[in-house]
């Protein structure tokens, strides 16, 4: 909400708008701290991962069409991935932030972390038909990177073939509602591993590297937001 308000804020005509999602996250964080500062029983922490789509002009040709530019903000161990499905290619991913193993940076009760001090902002050049994923650790702790890519590419192919429910229009590349199907299929795949006590998982692998005995998937929150970059016709 804070990002939306910032983007719609009235500015002088000469002032060029540049997204600043870290400042927006900081303000939202401060408002939340203030709202919960009075005596109450509310406690909790959260990681934060977000992607804001903007644009840029070609430096050597100001008359050229604008190209999409993604402002990615991350704090903690959730993750943003940018995929190029037509090549089954990973374009970008955020890196997890930890205090120590299985204790990520986070915002909230008794945490020293703040957006202004600890959030990481990256600007990522993307292309039309790229897919942007924002995922909680219940996904990336249970699926390896190549499995996530395979799931997205397979889901888009199924969607284009008419599977996955009703479409609101052209299905090409995951358009017309296909990103909902992509997210649902990814969540299902993560849940299969999370609930299997004998599965191999990225979390198990990391735990073993830390000298901890662990087997199977990791039961955790599984959340996915999937978005498709498309050029506006307006």
Percent of the chain, pLDDT > 70?
95
Residues 91, 130 contacting (CB under 8 angstroms): yes
* Residue 45 domain flag: yes
Q: Over pLDDT 90: what percentage of the chain?
A: 76
How many domains does the chain contain in total?
A: 1
Q: How confident is the model at residue 12 (pLDDT cuts 50, 70, 90)?
A: low
**Residue 183, pLDDT score:** 98
Which two tokens mark 121?
């902002």
Question: Rounded to an integer, what distance in angstroms lies between the CA atom of residue 214 and that of residue 226?
Answer: 31
Give the helix/strand (H/E) hosting 44. Answer: none
Q: How far is CA 39 from CA 28, 46, 154, in A?
A: 20, 20, 50
Query: Model pTM?
Result: 0.92
Q: For residue 136, how many C-alpha atoms fall within 13 Å in the half-sphere facing its CB?
A: 15
9 part of a folded domain: yes
126 CB-side CA count, 13 A: 34
Q: How many CB atoms lie within 10 A of CB 127?
A: 12
Q: Are 152 and 102 in contact (CB under 8 A)?
A: no
Alpha helices in 165-227 (DSSP H): 178-194, 202-209
Q: Which contacts qualify for 55-58: CB closer than 8 Å, 24 or more apart?
A: 56/125
Query: Nearest to residue 159, comparing CAs of 137, 177, 134?
Result: 177
CA distance 87 to 35: 46
**pLDDT confidence of residue 233:** 74
Instruction: Quick: pLDDT tens for 122-156.
Output: 999 999 999 999 999 999 999 999 999 999 999 99
Residue 233, in any domain of the structure: no
CATH of the domain at 53: 3.60.40
Token pair belonging to 196: 């299997």
Average pLDDT across the chain, whole number = 92
What is the domain range of residue 103?
A: 2-228
Helices 178-194 and 145-160, axial angle in degrees (round to 10): 140
pLDDT for residue 10: 61
197 within a domain of the structure (yes/no): yes
pLDDT at 15: 62
Q: Element (H or E) spanning 30, and its range?
A: helix 21-35
Please check whether residue 234 lies inside any domain of the structure. no
Residue with tokens 């919960």: 36
Which residue, among 151, 172, 173, 155, has the nearest Cα to 164 in the 3D structure?
155
């Amino acid at each position: 909400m804070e990002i939306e308000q910032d983007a719609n804020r009235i500015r002088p005509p000469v002032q060029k708008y540049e997204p600043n999602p870290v400042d927006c996250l900081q303000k939202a964080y401060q408002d939340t701290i203030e709202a919960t500062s009075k005596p109450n029983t509310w406690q909790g922490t959260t990681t934060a991962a977000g992607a804001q789509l903007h644009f840029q002009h070609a430096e050597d040709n100001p008359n050229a069409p604008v190209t999409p530019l993604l402002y990615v903000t991350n704090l903690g161990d959730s993750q943003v991935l940018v995929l190029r499905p037509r090549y089954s290619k990973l374009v970008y991913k955020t890196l997890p932030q930890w205090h120590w193993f299985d204790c990520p940076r986070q915002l909230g009760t008794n945490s020293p972390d703040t957006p202004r001090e600890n959030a990481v902002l990256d600007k990522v050049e993307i292309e039309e038909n790229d897919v942007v994923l924002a995922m909680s650790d219940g996904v990336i702790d249970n699926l390896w990177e190549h499995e996530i890519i395979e799931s997205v590419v397979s889901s888009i192919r199924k969607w284009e073939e008419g599977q996955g429910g009703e479409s609101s229009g052209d299905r090409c590349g995951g358009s017309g509602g296909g990103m909902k199907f992509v997210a649902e299929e990814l969540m299902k795949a993560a849940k299969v591993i999370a609930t299997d006590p004998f599965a191999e998982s990225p979390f198990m692998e990391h735990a073993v590297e830390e000298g901890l005995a662990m087997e199977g998937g990791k039961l955790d929150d599984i959340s996915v937001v999937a978005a498709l970059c498309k050029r506006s016709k307006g």
